[in-house]
Amino acid sequence: MTPFKKLLASRKFWISVITAVATVVTYYRDAELAKMLSVVGMTLVAGIGLEDFSKAKAAIEYEDN
């Protein structure tokens, strides 16, 4: 799989894109809501990053045994 296809298949990428677009659109209606929305999006991306790191770490430890 090419790096570009991996990027398009990434949940982190799509959550980041959706959060960015929703934050910009929401900013024009309510700036405070836009800030909260961006925090929620960043939290989701961080959570998925931690989940992916755990899976990668588990895979590496499995290969060592």
Question: What confidence tens digit (pLDDT) does each residue in 9-25 have?
Answer: 877 788 888 888 888 88
- What is the average pLDDT value for the chain, to the nearest integer? 80
Asked if 15 and 48 count as a contact pair (C-beta separation under 8 A), the reply is yes
Q: How far apart are CA 42 and CA 12, in angstroms?
A: 10
- For the chain, which residues make up each domain, given as ranges? 22-65
Q: How much is the pLDDT for 3?
A: 79
For 2, the enclosing helix (H) or strand (E) is: none
Residue-wise pLDDT for 6-64, tens only, equals: 777 877 788 888 888 888 888 889 989 988 888 888 888 888 877 776 766 666 666 65
The residue type found at 18 is I
Q: At what angle do helices 11-27 and 31-64 cross, to 10 degrees?
A: 170
Prediction pTM value: 0.63
Q: How far apart are CA 50 and CA 48, in angstroms?
A: 5
